[in-house]
Amino acid sequence: MKALIKIFLRLLLCFPLFANAFSIKKVSIHLENQQYIINSKIHYELTKKANEALNNGVALTIKLTIQLQEENAWFWQPNLVEQSVFFQLRFHPLTETYQVWDLATGDKTSFETLDAAKDLLGEIKDLPLIKASKLTKGQRYNLEMQVILDIEALPLPLRPLAYVSSDWDMESDPFYWTLKP
């Protein structure tokens, strides 16, 4: 019995069961020109399968979701802000570079290393949240952010496997922030 417990504990230490591949490390919100702006730092760690797919030409689409609502809102009340921002991480085999694409603007930036590409991908700067005029002074608002690998954007042959395999389950825990204008 003791041997089984030791094996189980070793397995737990070797394979972190609840470790998230993505994590939101820092969020700051500031008012600029009557508009609330978000800056954030996100860490991305790709699984072995995702890294292999990326290096074989599969683009990985990252989805950042942001929701803002009044602190004591009922579940049927709509969010004041509900937006998704999409980025894509690609590997270009001819030039052996990694590319980060902002899918909203079409801007792309190339890097020689995957780490450099993930660093840029993790820097969310000056993302507009909401106009100050839409918020009530003194009222508290709850912000929720989460980042996930968008499985729906994978090539069709990979999707069934991605739905059932933990190798493709890459997301952050939700990050919560309270905003009080």
For 22, 133, 143, 144, 149, the CA distances from 71, given in Å and listed in that order, are 26, 17, 9, 11, 28
Dihedral angle of Cα 167, 172, 173, 175, to the nearest 10 degrees: -170
At residue 9, the pLDDT reads 39
DSSP 1: -
| pLDDT score of 164 more than 70 | yes
CA 59 to CA 101: how far, in whole Å? Answer: 10
- Residue tagged 């470790």 (tokens): 19
Query: What are the start-end ranges of the H helices in the chain?
Result: 2-14, 48-55, 114-121, 159-164
Contact (Cβ atoms closer than 8 angstroms) between residue 165 and residue 13: no
Local confidence band at 25 (pLDDT 50, 70, 90 cut-offs): very high
- Higher-pLDDT residue of 69 and 8 is 69
Local confidence band at 72 (pLDDT 50, 70, 90 cut-offs): confident
Local confidence band at 17 (pLDDT 50, 70, 90 cut-offs): very low
| pLDDT score of 8 more than 70 | no
> Residues 110-158: pLDDT tens digits?
999 999 999 999 999 999 999 999 999 999 999 999 999 999 999 999 9
CA 86 to CA 78: how far, in whole Å? Answer: 22
The structure tokens listed for 165 are 């395999």
Local confidence band at 19 (pLDDT 50, 70, 90 cut-offs): low
| pLDDT score of 109 more than 50 | yes
